[in-house]
Amino acid sequence: MVTGGSSGIGAAIARTLARRGWQLVLLARGEERLAEVAGELGAEQEVCDVADRAEVERVAAAVRERHPAIRLLVNNAGIPGGGGFLDLEPDKIEALVRTNYLGSVWCLRAFLPALEAGAPADLVNIASVAGTIAAGHSGPYSASKHAQLAFSRSVGVELAGSGITVHTVIPGFIDTPGFPNRARFRSRLLQGLVADPDLVADQVVRGIERNRLEQFVPRWYRPAAIVQAAAPGLLARAARASGVRRKQK
């Protein structure tokens, strides 16, 4: 099962898994793109908005009827959200939480019986470096990913001994249709910091095969997360100073 499987990281993960012989069921909101990717890979498809708990439960029941045992669930579905807590529309803030955080919770709960039946099985949660570092002007998005990261780490403990291994993948800047990160930077140097979805897909598969519980993609994002955890005031002061300079300009 791959959520958000119609484009970007989700589609890249689906293609990588398909090359390894996995039988796939792809979930996404957009039916047209979903049908295109599913047709390309010979995968099953289900139109589903993971932010809607009732819809997730309905789709999961239909999938479990066809596939009582599932070996892998990839919680990848997510939406972007630029803007701060004080200026972003309330509906957008709620949508970020429902999709980026609660969507992962609802999908795990709904597909848990099938994962238990398929054990040993794996759960992969695609989080974000934004969930480890909160220093910019996309606070609601960062908060939704902070919550998803806490969920992934916590549920890994809850599922200990169940035969289900939880993997947390934490990408940095990845260029996708929903997150066109290369277009954000004019400098070629900064554009070089942006990776492609295939890199994440490769690391997801390697993480499962090598039993890696948590990994940053690319790996050199990890030190920034360590800096904020060890010295949060330092990063906060730097971010505030940067904000003051922008306002003065």
CA distance 127 to 77: 10
CA distance 83 to 69: 41
Q: What angle do CA 200, 52, 70 make, to 5 degrees?
A: 55
Q: Could you tell me which residues come within 8 angstroms of residue 125 by beta carbon, excluding any fewer than 6 positions away?
A: 75, 104, 148, 149, 151, 152, 166, 167, 168, 169
SS3 of residue 216 by DSSP: strand
Query: Would you tell me how many other CB atoms lie within 10 Å of the CB of residue 43?
Result: 20
Which member of 141, 151, 179, 221 is catalytic? Answer: 141
DSSP annotation of 80: -
User: Has 141 been annotated as catalytic?
Assistant: yes
| Residues known to be catalytic | 141
